[in-house]
Structure 1
Amino acid sequence: MTITTEFCLSSPSLPLVSITERLPPDQIECVHGLCFEQDARMFIVRIDSEVNVSEANLESLDEVQEATTIGYAGEQTVHNLTIDLDDAISEVFSGGSSVAAKLEPTVVTPEGWYERKVYKDRDSFMESRTRCENYGISLDLISMTSTSSTSDDDLPFGLTERQYEALTLALSRGYYESPRQTSTEELAAELGISQPSLSRLLRRGERQLLSSALQTQEHLNTVSN
């Protein structure tokens, strides 16, 4: 089973955030090699062409050692930047390629880095999260989806795998008992997601169960009549 995650990294030491703070673009896309080489200082940055950010603008930033404009990709200007990398960033990304794979370019905003990555399992993600926190980088999980050889079509009542997982865990932990034996906060922590995300999973799963059950009952009533 693999885990697909979407999260935001926040830290004053994260490279390129200063571009969105001090120059016109409110967000940029970048590709870097930190997951493969912890001291990689070359970043390929894409900025909307209409913003008109020059090499001189980029080199005016303290963290940018050198900026070279490569060309254009669609409606974006592509720049090759050599970055003065903080030691904490090098350390937190060391060994990352063995447990995770990036799905899309990093999106950089004034709030931090938004990334989507695939981990081999939930423990690998939690290990990566702890590593970030140990180096002063906050990781805010937006979503986590598990994928296995079992397709959603194999699950009962039209549930998605993630809904089935959340409902099964909630039932096994006594969430539906009276009084409840656990809370959404505890269930969310066990699944490695936020409490609002867990609540949404349960609500959608419960709605799907009710919808399937009521449609079945309606069908049985029609046949019996």
Structure 2
Amino acid sequence: MSLVAVVDLTHPDLALTPTIRSTAAEIQVVTHAATDAETGMFFFLVEADSFPTFEAALERDETVADSMLVAEASTARIYRLRHTPGTKLVSPATTEVGGLMLEAESTASGWSIRMQLPDRETLSQFCEFCEREGIEYTLGHIYSLDEFSVDDGGVGLTDAQRETLVKAYTEGYFEEPRGTSLEELADDLGISPTAVGGRIRRGASRLIERTLVDEE
């Protein structure tokens, strides 16, 4: 019985954690890009209000050996990074237990990951890996792909996406005319307008994927 689990992870040596904690950037692993766990090369989508600030943080980040900008837009860029040897990576551990990393995005203090696993035993093995490495973890929403019996409505939102979407809805962001703005939501949530927009976009995409696309 395959399942999907959302897990929040915290450790100072997790990839990009120093940058995450010192900037307001929203960072997401580009999961469909080629990565090489042996050399520590990974691709990240970054949304930020100030990329000079973000890149300065990268320079100080002890988990980053070197970085390269590979694509850019006005508020989003894709970077290719190589991590230092001491960086803690969870994607290889997910693969080792027979799982698949579906999504990973930054939180205020670390990462929120969404992964597909064969069963709850492999989820326990992943949690044991975290305990061995000293990585703090919080199990969030877990749902079965086979039975669609779910803890969170079956949509697999991260806690940050859920909080932001609910806040945007209750404050009238989706109404016409809008009852609030990205800037006002950002003030309430304590994050940047760019981060709010990213969470709304990714959360809405996840809702459509899980509630409409599969149905079709």
Q: TM-score over 0.5 for the alignment? A: yes
User: Hey, what does 1:198 align to over in structure 2?
Assistant: none
Specify the structure having the higher radius of gyration (Cα).
1
Shift of 1:125: 0.8
Q: 1:111 to 1:43 in 2, by over 3 A?
A: same
Q: Counterpart of 2:144 in structure 1: which amino acid?
A: S
* Per-residue deviation, residues 36-71 of structure 1 (Å, max 9, x unmatched): 865341121222253223645522323322121111
Once the two structures are superposed, what CA deviation does each residue of 1:104-127 show, in whole Å capped at 9, x if it has no partner? 2x1123321101001011111111
SS at match of 1:19: helix
- Higher mean alpha-carbon deviation, 51-60 vs 113-122, is at 51-60
Q: Percent identity?
A: 20
Q: Report the CA distance between 1:141 and its aligned residue.
A: 0.4
CA offset at residue 129 of structure 1? 0.8
Q: Is the contact between residue 12 and residue 18 of structure 2 (CA under 8 Å) also seen in structure 1?
A: no
In structure 2, the residue matched to 1:146 is: 144
Residue 76 of structure 1 is matched in structure 2 by: 76
Which consecutive residues of structure 2, in runs of 5 or more, have no partner in the other structure?
152-216
Q: Aligned letter for 2:28?
A: E
**Cα distance 1:74–1:40, how it changes in 2: closer, same or farther (>3 A)?**
farther
Answer whether contact 1:92 1:131 (CA < 8 A) is retained.
no
2:99 paired residue number? 100
One-letter amino acid of the structure 2 residue matched with residue 99 of structure 1 = G
Task: Give TM-score scaled by structure 2 length.
Answer: 0.58
Moved over 4 A (4+): 54-57
Aligned to 1:21: 21
C-alpha distance in structure 1 between counterparts of 2:4 and 2:41, whole Å: 26
Q: Given the two structures, how large is their TM-score scaled by the length of structure 1?
A: 0.56
The residue that corresponds to 2:114 in the other structure is 116
The structure carrying a bigger helix percent of its residues is 1
SS of aligned partner of 2:20:
helix
Note the alpha carbon deviations across 1:121-170, whole angstroms, 9 max, x for none: 1111111111211121122101110122x5x6xxxxxxxx347xxxxxxx
For 1:91 and 1:108, locate their aligned partners in 2 and report how far apart those are by CA, in whole Å.
Answer: 14
Letter in 1 for 2:124: M
Would you say how many aligned residue pairs link Structure 1 and Structure 2?
Answer: 148
Q: Whole-Å Cα distance in 1 between the matches of residues 93 and 64 of structure 2? A: 22
